[in-house]
Chain A
Amino acid sequence: MQFFFEVLIGGLLAGVMYSLVALGFVLIFKASGVFNFAQGAMVFFAALVFVTLQEKLAAPFWLAFALTLAVMVLVGILTERVVLRPLVNQPPISLFMATIGLAFFIEGAAQLVQLWAFRDISPRPLALGFQDAPFDWLLGEFNMMVSRFDAFAALVAGALVAALAVFFNKTRVGRALRAVADDHQAALSVGIPLKYIWAIVWSVAGFVALVAGLMWGARSGVQFALTLVALKALPVLILGGFESIAGAIVGGLIIGAAEKLAEVYLGPHVGGGIEGWFAYVLALLFLLVRPEGLFGEKHIDRV
């Protein structure tokens, strides 16, 4: 039983890491109706820029963070200008495919940066300044291994969600964002400047990508595989619903826990390697029951 809880808590905390990435997707989807496939590439890119600044310029943490944030804002603005603005009023699926193109572009660019800075593309370690170790208290009291790093990541995710909730609900820009998400044309007609709003959203998504990139980079090294994290976040989104920040968190927790439990209890029976697809199949089965996700908005089609 105590082993079960250990796996469960490990899974829930890992799920929070997925939620961090899923948040970036939700933000952009909420505000512009674009399903941004490039979020994973942005996570990788942000982590890589950060590591490059830290290692090559010996920049302190806050400076590297600020500079990377500036770079990500620039990327966001450029994306809005070059990719999204010419595609206004195109069907959502075209925009989706455009972000696949964007993902490839950013992945290629990020790897070229890495190659240029380090002369190879092996994983770079990223230090956040504290050691990962299990909590002594839990280890002693219940004999459970719970990683400090994962708990820290959960805290960061919680703080991020709180900040985003305040931003979306209490600030002027946040209200404008929600208006744009609701209806582009109506928002335009009441005088909300669409292009600034989109640039802001992409910048915020860049910020979320940076935070996710730091956490994932510290956990598994900054490497190309970080882009695959986005693929892990997709079932989370399906489960939680594309429009809901709460859904991203809850979906992440469910997927994380279910994946770890399945890996431990189901994996040995089918020969392992099930973590690659289990989350997807779970999400797929879930979709059959509730097509709009846990917290998604129900869409009514009108002819």
Chain B
Amino acid sequence: MFYREAGQFRTSYAADQQLFPIRQDRLALLALLALAFVGVPLAANDYWFTAILIPFLVFALAALGLNILTGYAGQLSLGSAAFMAVGAVAAYNFELRVPGLPLLASFILAGACAALVGVAFGLPSLRIKGFYLAVATLAAQFFIPWLLVKVGWFSNYSSSGVITAQPMEILGYVFDTPAEKYLLVLTVVALLALAAKNMVRSAVGRAWMAVRDMDVAAEVIGIPIMRTKLTAFAVSSFYCGVAGALYAYAYVGTVQPEDLNLDLSFRILFMVIIGGVGSILGSFLGAAFITLLPIYLEVLLTFLAHEFNLNLAPGTTSMVQLLVFGALIVFFLIVEPLGLARLWQIAKEKLRLWPFPH
């Protein structure tokens, strides 16, 4: 009843081609943005900003990057965290070595650096696919953090490659409270998500999907495989790179390249699988799920231990977390391979007919 497009006529090409052709979607998105930009900063406290909202947005951006590569272009990558590390270190160096460079410009340049590295490690994808490629991206995951630590120049010769992000300053205004950082991250993420939403329905995005569905067939109908795959790697790594810069500047502040390890790459992959492979919305849902799950698991375990007088050994939570993550991945792949985004879609279809399903 509430989600029905009856009576919405598209009378111009512009109306037909807009991003959200259904009025309810547009209104819902505006409401969501209003909530995120106005409602949340008014209501949330510092714990929410620093422990939940900022990491959620940063990881959502990284998941979005991986989703472009894996979900849209069909190239599985296990190196997203390494590209985040490239972004973080590049942004740090641009801020450090180019005086007066605006912060956002160094974020964009950091993304561009990550994109270059991504293309370099995407080159094998021209010859290999599937798991061979997944293993090849592992090379990036092991090589890049090592390089960033070993070459002292990258971290300005600090011990063990640690970089400490400079304060974030845009046009003389310093973003230092959690709420301000949150708003900055939210703006960047919202803009990039909009760009991604646009990209995946353009010629580039359709070429990605054609390559994903069957690359030989795509080549036969005239899609340049090399360019398509490499753009996917470039765009995906750009997103991961910007996510890495935000991770360093807005979330943790002090980054050791080794923190951005294989575990994080897997976590980002899980966000994509659980959220929805090949869905922009899914990246956000997956990131929210994976960010919140450990917190709720911790609460639940503490509660259970208290209730049944169990004496849990330290570290139990992280193990149960592994167990639950693993089980959830298998569960989602079997029951709902398209993830939470698909559930949302089903809900929308149901809403369309409600209350008179036929």
Q: Which A residues fall within an 8 A CB radius of B? A: 35, 82-83, 86-87, 90, 92-94, 96-98, 100-109, 111-112, 115, 119-121, 231, 234-235, 237-238, 242, 270-271, 273-274, 276-277, 280-281, 283-284, 287-288, 291, 301-303
The answer to whether A288 and B326 touch (CB under 8 A), given A90-B337, A100-B266, A280-B138, is: no
B134-152: CB near A (< 8 Å → 1, else 0) gives: 1110110011001001100
Asked if B130 and A115 make an inter-chain contact with CB atoms under 8 angstroms apart, the answer reads no
Contacts of B334 in A (CB 8 A): 83, 86-87, 98
Chain B interface category by residue count = 35 or more
Asked if B143 and A281 make an inter-chain contact with CB atoms under 8 angstroms apart, the answer reads yes
Query: Which residue, of A83, A100, A276, has the highest number of chain B Cβ atoms within 10 A?
Result: A100
Q: How far is the CA of A284 from the CA of B122 in the complex (A)?
A: 11
Smallest Cβ distance from B332 to chain A, in angstroms?
8
Q: How far is the CA of A103 from the CA of B329 in the complex (A)?
A: 10
Which residue of the partner chain B has the closest CB to A276? B142
Asked if A104 and B325 make an inter-chain contact with CB atoms under 8 angstroms apart, the answer reads yes
Smallest Cβ distance from A131 to chain B, in angstroms?
33
Asked if A115 and B322 make an inter-chain contact with CB atoms under 8 angstroms apart, the answer reads no
Pick the interface stretch among B55-63, B212-220, B237-245, B285-293: B212-220
Asked if B269 and A97 make an inter-chain contact with CB atoms under 8 angstroms apart, the answer reads yes
Other A-B pairs beyond A87-B333, A101-B326, A105-B326, 6, CB < 8 Å: A237-B135, A273-B150, A277-B146, A283-B136, A287-B132, A291-B128
Asked if A105 and B217 make an inter-chain contact with CB atoms under 8 angstroms apart, the answer reads no
Asked if A242 and B131 make an inter-chain contact with CB atoms under 8 angstroms apart, the answer reads yes
Asked if B313 and A98 make an inter-chain contact with CB atoms under 8 angstroms apart, the answer reads no
Q: How far is the CA of A280 from the CA of B124 in the complex (A)?
A: 13
B90 within 8 A of A: no
Contacts of A109 in B (CB 8 A): 323
Q: Which B residues fall within an 8 A CB radius of A? A: 74, 76, 123-124, 127-128, 130-132, 134-136, 138-139, 142-143, 146, 149-150, 214-217, 220, 262, 266, 269, 273, 313, 315-316, 319-330, 333-334, 337
Smallest Cβ distance from B39 to chain A, in angstroms?
35
Q: How far is the CA of A235 from the CA of B216 in the complex (A)?
A: 27
Smallest Cβ distance from A238 to chain B, in angstroms?
5
Q: How far is the CA of A92 from the CA of B76 in the complex (A)?
A: 11
Query: Which residue, of A90, A94, A108, has the highest number of chain B Cβ atoms within 10 A?
Result: A108
Closest 4 CB pairs of A and B: A101-B329, A105-B326, A104-B326, A108-B322
Query: Which residue, of B123, B313, B324, has the highest number of chain A Cβ atoms within 10 A?
Result: B313
Asked if B329 and A98 make an inter-chain contact with CB atoms under 8 angstroms apart, the answer reads yes
Task: Determine which of A92, A115, A238, A242 lies in contact with B313 in the assembled complex, contact meaning CB atoms within 8 Å.
Answer: A115
Asked if B131 and A277 make an inter-chain contact with CB atoms under 8 angstroms apart, the answer reads no
Asked if B333 and A101 make an inter-chain contact with CB atoms under 8 angstroms apart, the answer reads yes
Which residue of the partner chain B has the closest CB to A282? B139
Contacts of A121 in B (CB 8 A): 315
Contacts of A35 in B (CB 8 A): 130-131
Contacts of A115 in B (CB 8 A): 313, 315-316, 319
Q: How far is the CA of A119 from the CA of B313 in the complex (A)?
A: 7
Chain B residues touching A, majority SS: helix
Q: How far is the CA of A274 from the CA of B143 in the complex (A)?
A: 9
Which residue of the partner chain A has the closest CB to B324? A108
Q: How far is the CA of A119 from the CA of B216 in the complex (A)?
A: 54
Smallest Cβ distance from A245 to chain B, in angstroms?
18
Q: How far is the CA of A115 from the CA of B124 in the complex (A)?
A: 42
Asked if B327 and A101 make an inter-chain contact with CB atoms under 8 angstroms apart, the answer reads yes
Smallest Cβ distance from A99 to chain B, in angstroms?
9
Task: Determine which of B138, B322, B337 lies in contact with A104 in the assembled complex, contact meaning CB atoms within 8 Å.
Answer: B322
The answer to whether A273 and B313 touch (CB under 8 A), given A102-B330, A231-B138, A303-B220, is: no
Q: How far is the CA of A93 from the CA of B71 in the complex (A)?
A: 11
Contacts of A98 in B (CB 8 A): 329-330, 333-334
Q: How far is the CA of A107 from the CA of B321 in the complex (A)?
A: 10
Task: Determine which of B143, B146, B319, B337 lies in contact with A94 in the assembled complex, contact meaning CB atoms within 8 Å.
Answer: B337
> 12 A-B pairs, CB-CB below 8 angstroms?
A82-B330, A86-B334, A90-B333, A93-B76, A104-B325, A111-B319, A271-B150, A273-B150, A276-B146, A283-B135, A287-B132, A291-B132
Q: How far is the CA of A238 from the CA of B320 in the complex (A)?
A: 32
Asked if B323 and A112 make an inter-chain contact with CB atoms under 8 angstroms apart, the answer reads yes
Task: Determine which of A101, A277, A301, A302 lies in contact with B143 in the assembled complex, contact meaning CB atoms within 8 Å.
Answer: A277
Asked if B143 and A287 make an inter-chain contact with CB atoms under 8 angstroms apart, the answer reads no
Asked if B127 and A108 make an inter-chain contact with CB atoms under 8 angstroms apart, the answer reads no
Which residue of the partner chain B has the closest CB to A234? B135
Contacts of B321 in A (CB 8 A): 108
Contacts of B123 in A (CB 8 A): 288
Smallest Cβ distance from B23 to chain A, in angstroms?
36
Q: How far is the CA of A66 from the CA of B163 in the complex (A)?
A: 52
Contacts of A82 in B (CB 8 A): 330
Asked if A105 and B127 make an inter-chain contact with CB atoms under 8 angstroms apart, the answer reads no
Q: How far is the CA of A101 from the CA of B274 in the complex (A)?
A: 11
The answer to whether A303 and B214 touch (CB under 8 A), given A93-B76, A104-B322, is: yes
Q: How far is the CA of A86 from the CA of B332 in the complex (A)?
A: 12
Task: Determine which of A96, A238, A301 lies in contact with B216 in the assembled complex, contact meaning CB atoms within 8 Å.
Answer: A301
Smallest Cβ distance from B304 to chain A, in angstroms?
14
